[in-house]
Amino acid sequence: MKKSRFTETQIVTVLQKAEQGHKIGDLCRENGVTLAFIQPGKPTQNAFIERFNRTFRTEVLNAYVFRTIREVREHADAFLLDYNHHRPHEGLGNRTPNDLNHPTIPQFTTD
């Protein structure tokens, strides 16, 4: 992954203000952050999120008929729990994202 030329503080500032409802384009300009978009028709430039979007659409959005927003949230939460904590990812060496953040301590036994 390419190293960002922006400091963590700059990026966090922009994201925090965006969560508060500020326009992201204005925030980026004010903080010297350049927005970079993928080229139209080039999903391979952002393959990780495209893969997630396809999986989420297939396994949640297209798999159920939802009657309420609450049902969507419940299914999405269950999917994300499974996706991040139980499902191995080939791109992560057949580990889960949770394993990368919280590696298990090997259990040693004495004979």
pTM of the model: 0.53
89 and 74 together in one domain: yes
- The answer to whether residue 108 sits within a structural domain is no
pLDDT at 57: 92
- CA–CA distance, 17 with 11 (Å, rounded to integer): 10
49 and 79 together in one domain: yes
pLDDT at 38: 75
- CA–CA distance, 17 with 59 (Å, rounded to integer): 33
50 and 86 together in one domain: yes
**DSSP code of 95?**
B
54 and 86 together in one domain: yes
**pLDDT, tens digit only, all 111 positions of the chain:** 455 666 777 777 777 777 666 677 787 788 787 877 777 777 677 777 778 888 999 999 999 999 998 999 999 999 999 998 888 888 778 888 888 776 665 555 555
pLDDT at 95: 85
17 and 54 together in one domain: no
81 and 61 together in one domain: yes
- The answer to whether residue 72 sits within a structural domain is yes
Place of tokens 């927005």: 35
- Which domain does 17 fall in, by range? 7-36
* CB atoms closer than 10 angstroms to residue 33: 19
Local structure of 20: helix, strand or coil: coil
74 and 97 together in one domain: yes
pLDDT at 89: 83
- The answer to whether residue 96 sits within a structural domain is yes
